Amino acid sequence: MRDAVTTLIKTYDDTGRYLDQNALNSIKSYFSSGLDRIKAAAVISANASEIVQEAGAKLFEQVPELIRPGGNAYTTRRYAACLRDMDYYLRYGSYALVAGNGNVLDERVLTGLRETYNSLSVPIGPTVVGIQIMKEIVKAKVEAAGITSTSVVDEPFDYMCRELSEVSL
């Protein structure tokens, strides 16, 4: 897993370039948002179970066919698996938030996920909706904790949604 700085340096090293003003500005931004990212991750960690439960309830309210007979969250086992997966997205989203880089999401969550979900007939659309709901819940909790720059929360959740949404099922 790499953070924003090591990823940037690797990119410049691979091309044999010195760090330019864009690179230095990117590093400056990473460090200036660092405290907000760490505080946001602490809020997520302290409220993870509540965030997942609330997001699950809202998801099933918005997409009730998931919990009806034949739906992908019908039966206790499937319902629990759905919440477990939401917890994975939240946890790895918090890692990416601290790192300031989506690399961990690619390595640990997104690579192979589409194929796995396709083989199990799990729809990607509701997964994306669930991730978006979690993002909004996290942002509200982060804001309530007094963190003024909630935009740092957007990056990992938007990245997961964008990467999952790019596949046409």
Q: Domains plus CATH for the chain?
A: 1-32 (no CATH), 34-165 (1.10.490.20)
Please tell me the pTM assigned to this model: 0.90
Question: pLDDT tens digits, residue range 82-123?
Answer: 999 999 999 999 999 999 999 999 988 998 887 888 888 888
Q: Could you write out the three-class secondary structure of the chain?
A: CCCHHHHHHHHHHHCCCCCCHHHHHHHHHHHHCHHHHHHHHHHHHHHHHHHHHHHHHHHHHHCHHHCCCCCCCCCHHHHHHHHHHHHHHHHHHHHHHHHCCCHHHHHHHHCCHHHHHHHCCCCHHHHHHHHHHHHHHHHHHHHHCCCCCCHHHHHHHHHHHHHHHCCCC
Mean of all residue pLDDT scores within the chain = 93
